[in-house]
Amino acid sequence: MRMRMRAMGRILALALTFIGSQAVAQTTPHPILFVTQVPVPVDFAAIGSTFANHVASPASVYRGGDLWIRYPNGTLRNLTQEAGFGVSGAQGANSIAVRDPHVHWDGTKAVFSMVVGSPAQFQQIPYRWQMYEVNGLGVGQPVQITLVPNQPAIYNNVMPAYLTDGTLVFASDRPRNGAAHLYPQQDEYESEETVTGLWRLKVTTGELKLLDHSPSGDFDPFVDSFGRLLFTRWDHLQRDQQADVTGNPSGNFDWADEGASAAIATTPVDIFPEPRVAAQGSPVNGHRFNNFFPWQVAQDGTDAEFLNHLGRHEFAEYFDRSFATDPNLVEFTPGSRPNQNALQNLFQMVEDPTQPGRYVGIDAPEFDTHASGQIVRLNAAPNANPDDIVIDYLTPRSTAGTAPAADHSGHYRNPLVLSDGTVLVAHATQTGGIENLGTASFPIPNHRFRLRLMVAGIGTLLAPGANLTSGISKSVSFFNPDSLVTYTGELWELSPVEVRPRTVPPITREPVLANSEVQSFTQAAVAESTFRQFLKRNGLGLLVVRNNTHRDRADRQQPFNLRVPGGVQSVANAGTLYDIAHFQTIQGDQVRGIGGAATPEPGRRVLARFMHDALALANSLPNPGGPAGSTRIFPDGSSAIVVPAQRALSWQTTAADGTPIVRERYWLTVQPGEIRACGGCHAINTQGQAGQAPATNTPAALTALLQRWSTQNGGLMFSDGLE
């Protein structure tokens, strides 16, 4: 008993050391869990950056932060210190950095990421973010912090969250297929190392599943009240800008395939989409693409799409048309669309607990603000049509950037809507870009993030209120790795989450097939369950388009007067009529190297290649004379093709000679056994270009594919237990 009392006394003493003064008057409905971070005064591949923020080196994330909890009356506890993690002063083997707390549905524990250790001078040591779970969040409860078992131990695992069933979803830089020679995956922009997508971990068994393969990265996943898994995705599906530079100074080159012993081709080749810069006299305009926008996926990894099927036509202010010579195609501007408040990006999205389906996030520039900017809001419940969704600006539009403005109220990040509707944010009063007001050895950051409750501002806008804490300061020093860096002062306060029990959302899974596709299975006399099991066992999925001539009325940037030779057509007005004969599939291969073929740097970038997966092609309809990786478009406008699962995919429709007509602008992942069907490309929200409703035809291409598969596998279907 005496030893137990002494232990409790030590815990209380540590807690009392960091109790904030009661000068902070405001209260909150529930405790707030948050992290502190020693400020990093750079914004490329660092802890506060929009991308490559998962890197765990001391240069990217300064050591010395902690996991904290603030109780409603203002009392603070340093949870990591109580549990024996972290140090002040010189940062060494026991130093830490902490990020991304997420509270369990029952409100009694949380998961977060932590990196442990900092090198001695001149040491080059690989450090990794790993997931930990914390218990003992209540007042007076002894805190326990434990390493999450069975997670990928040699990779960075960040931004964890609980799924409905208690399993974990997180972003990781583990290679898509686990192959060590593909580490790290390099993003499509700067060839900087990135996370490979979202992963699900069953902690008790170690079962690991890739839910979304993202060539440039997925960020900040969470399950909303409807059971959808929402996250920010970096979409950068364009040709390699580094290889485009005259002289190729980065030394970009291609490996022949993804194999560890692949041959090297010294000349890099990009095939999809169209070039970034149009050649003189080309009928095709240059294509550049760079967005951080909200995505959704079912908790089993199926049914991935832009949130509510939104897209650039609902968010963007401007982008160019694909063909320069077609007067029917126009440069995009918002025009009279319902949403007149454009977004450039959407980061750190959360749901408003007082109104299911209402989301708050941050519109921030790609660089120069530590992913901080303007607070915005949108209503996007599952039944909301994208044509009707509007963006609300909660702070002045000027806060989305760094230009001087009279109404600029600073930069915001990590918004949180509390259970009483109050908005809590990490706020920096700085209105300009990032600067180090000190030196590399003694940094003084100009952005200082403090937790603040927002209050009513001018009109419908919000303004920053008083600080939630009286400030948390620390003095630390560490090697980076050759020179000593010393920081003394306030720490950033980031990533607040409310500690309270929440209603457990339903588990979302792949939606039931629509009647159009069900009829194809019936006509082909193939059991859907049997076919799905075949796909699942072989790591395959299926893409089905009912009518490739159907395009949404908003999309006048790619051809919309479309005809299948000898078949259906959709014609909105006079002008060029495009024949589409093939649906060509693209797979993301990790084959682009950097650094030069003689001394290549570790890892590879994902590159678009025409689908060549042998098993997928063997189970698709033959398309003799068609372009590589393609299937023919049937007279009813439909197409169906088997594809590799858990690998980034894209596609385009082409003319009979293989000339691209309509190109997909995003990467998409399907799961083993998934059958992904849509009405058209770009699918219709309310009306198509010719005023038509979404397609409901029974896709003839799917029926033909199933009939062929049944003929090839008829004996197998009933003899190996698949039925």
Tokens of 468: 């939630």
pLDDT of residue 246: 84
Contact call for residues 682 and 501 (beta carbons, < 8 A): no
SS3 readout for 225-262: CCCCEEEEEEECCCCCHHHHCCCCCCCCEEECCCCCCC
The pLDDT tens digits for 334-360 are: 999 999 999 999 999 999 999 999 999
pLDDT of residue 25: 62
Residue type, 451: L
Tokens of 579: 């024949």
Bond preceding residue 142 cis, omega within 30 of 0: no
200-224 residues labelled b (16+ CB within 10 A) or e (exposed)? bbebeeeeebbbbbbbbbbbbbbbb
The pLDDT tens digits for 621-656 are: 999 999 999 999 999 999 999 999 999 999 999 999
**d(C-alpha 508, C-alpha 228), whole Å:** 6
Q: Are strands 578-579 and 562-563 parallel, antiparallel or unpaired?
A: parallel
Grade residue 1 by pLDDT with cuts at 50, 70 and 90.
very low
Given a cut of 80, whether residue 7 has pLDDT beyond it is no
Mean pLDDT of 113-135: 96
User: Which residue, among 654, 636, 631, 623, has the nearest Cα to 567 in the 3D structure?
Assistant: 636
**d(C-alpha 223, C-alpha 457), whole Å:** 31
Name the β-bridge partners of 639: 545
pLDDT of residue 3: 33
DSSP string, 15-56: HHHTPPPTT-----SS-EEEEEE------SSSTTSSSSTT--
Contact call for residues 104 and 134 (beta carbons, < 8 A): no
Q: Give the count of beta carbons closer than 10 Å to the beta carbon of residue 720.
A: 12
pLDDT of residue 21: 32
**d(C-alpha 59, C-alpha 549), whole Å:** 51
Mean pLDDT of 688-717: 89
Contact call for residues 592 and 252 (beta carbons, < 8 A): yes
pLDDT of residue 423: 98
Angle at 538 between CA 533 and CA 539, to 5 degrees: 100
Tokens of 192: 């900087």
- Provide the percentage of residues in the chain whose pLDDT is more than 90: 92
pLDDT of residue 19: 37
Contact call for residues 662 and 652 (beta carbons, < 8 A): yes
Q: Are strands 582-593 and 649-654 parallel, antiparallel or unpaired?
A: antiparallel
Q: Give the count of beta carbons closer than 10 Å to the beta carbon of residue 284.
A: 16
- Backbone conformation region of residue 71, classed left if phi is above 0, alpha if psi is from -120 to 50, else beta: beta
Given a cut of 70, whether residue 527 has pLDDT beyond it is yes
The pLDDT tens digits for 146-176 are: 999 999 999 999 999 999 999 999 999 999 9
**d(C-alpha 194, C-alpha 187), whole Å:** 6
49, burial (CB in 10 Å: exposed 0-12, middle 13-18, buried 19+): buried
The helix (run of H) or strand (run of E) holding residue 630 is strand 630-632
Given a cut of 90, whether residue 483 has pLDDT beyond it is yes
Which residue spans of the chain are classified as CATH 2.120.10.30? 2-238+273-498
Q: Give the count of beta carbons closer than 10 Å to the beta carbon of residue 171.
A: 30
Mean pLDDT of 131-148: 98
**d(C-alpha 410, C-alpha 397), whole Å:** 11
Chain centroid to CA 430:
27
Q: CA Rg, the chain, in Å?
A: 26
Residue type, 621: L
Contact call for residues 489 and 473 (beta carbons, < 8 A): yes
User: Which residue, among 159, 161, 66, has the nearest Cα to 109 in the 3D structure?
Assistant: 161
Given a cut of 60, whether residue 325 has pLDDT beyond it is yes
**pTM here?**
0.94
At 693, give phi and psi (nearest 5°).
Answer: -80, 165
Contact call for residues 47 and 40 (beta carbons, < 8 A): yes
104-130 residues labelled b (16+ CB within 10 A) or e (exposed)? bbebebbbbbbbbbbbeeeeeeebbbb
The pLDDT tens digits for 54-91 are: 999 999 999 999 999 999 999 999 999 999 999 999 99
Mean pLDDT of 608-613: 98
**d(C-alpha 589, C-alpha 605), whole Å:** 8
Q: Are strands 411-417 and 391-393 parallel, antiparallel or unpaired?
A: unpaired
Q: Which of the 8 DSSP states describes residue 286?
A: P
693, burial (CB in 10 Å: exposed 0-12, middle 13-18, buried 19+): exposed
At 622, give phi and psi (nearest 5°).
Answer: -60, 145
Grade residue 181 by pLDDT with cuts at 50, 70 and 90.
very high
Task: Name the least confident of 287-296, 521-530, 637-646, 707-716.
Answer: 707-716
Given a cut of 80, whether residue 393 has pLDDT beyond it is yes
**d(C-alpha 650, C-alpha 40), whole Å:** 37
SS3 readout for 154-187: CCCEEEEEECCCCCEEEEECCCCCCCHHHCCEEC
Tokens of 517: 């596709």
**d(C-alpha 89, C-alpha 474), whole Å:** 8
**d(C-alpha 387, C-alpha 391), whole Å:** 12
Tokens of 136: 């003992």
Q: Which residues contact 255 (CB under 8 A, 6 or more apart)?
A: 262, 263, 264, 265, 591, 592, 593, 604
**d(C-alpha 6, C-alpha 514), whole Å:** 65
What fold, for 2-238+273-498? Neuraminidase (2.120.10)
475-497 residues labelled b (16+ CB within 10 A) or e (exposed)? ebbbbbbeeebebebbbbbbbbb
Tokens of 279: 């050649």
Residue type, 1: M
Q: Are strands 67-70 and 32-37 parallel, antiparallel or unpaired?
A: antiparallel
Contact call for residues 160 and 100 (beta carbons, < 8 A): yes
